[in-house]
């Protein structure tokens, strides 16, 4: 059981970005300036705040989330997806914008059984 997954379309975009930029890192902030969408950066270009929580990995890339947002999402299974966003070209620091996409977060609450299994696995 894991907390995080990625859609096939998002995998396509991430793999394109990796080919263009090398290693990547994702961060989902709770702040006003960053918004609450997952942001994708070249690994060496982004300092992950120490208060952020590593939620997992997608496509071999670490995915961090703001501590306060993690408290909100800790009972949720999170899926990273993309939507076409041609109008936002250059209007974000996240790398996918220049390809005409924006990463988005979709979530659903874990069932009681899933959450119990997750907690057991995290204890190991």
Q: What is the pLDDT of residues 40-73, one digit of tens each?
A: 999 999 998 899 999 999 999 999 999 988 988 8
Q: Is the pLDDT of residue 90 over 70?
A: no
- In a domain? residue 69: yes
Give Cα 45 distance to the centre of its chain. Answer: 16
Tens-place pLDDT, residues 2-24: 999 999 999 999 999 999 999 99
Residue 39 counted as domain residue? yes
Structural domains in the chain (count): 1
In-domain check, residue 121? no
Report the CATH number that the domain containing residue 52 is assigned in CATH: 2.60.300
Q: Do the domain assignments include residue 65?
A: yes
Q: Considering the domain boundaries, does residue 124 fall inside one? A: no
Domain of residue 47 covers 4-114
Give tens-digit pLDDT for 109-119: 999 999 999 99
pTM confidence score: 0.88
Please report whether residue 122 resides in a domain: no
pLDDT of 31 over the 80 cut: no
> Cα-atom radius of gyration of the chain, to the nearest Å?
14
CA gap 14, 95 in Å, rounded? 9
């Amino acid at each position: 059981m894991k907390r995080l997954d990625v859609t096939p379309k998002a995998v396509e975009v991430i793999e394109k970005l990796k080919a263009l930029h090398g290693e990547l890192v994702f961060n989902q902030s709770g702040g006003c300036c960053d918004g609450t969408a997952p942001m994708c950066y070249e690994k060496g270009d982004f300092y992950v705040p120490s208060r952020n929580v590593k939620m997992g990995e997608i496509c071999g890339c670490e995915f961090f989330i703001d501590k306060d947002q993690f408290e909100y999402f800790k009972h949720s299974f999170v899926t990273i997806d993309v939507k076409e966003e041609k109008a936002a070209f250059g209007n974000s620091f996240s790398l996918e914008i220049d390809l005409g996409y924006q990463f988005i977060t979709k979530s659903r609450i874990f069932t009681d059984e899933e959450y119990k299994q997750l907690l057991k696995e995290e204890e190991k």
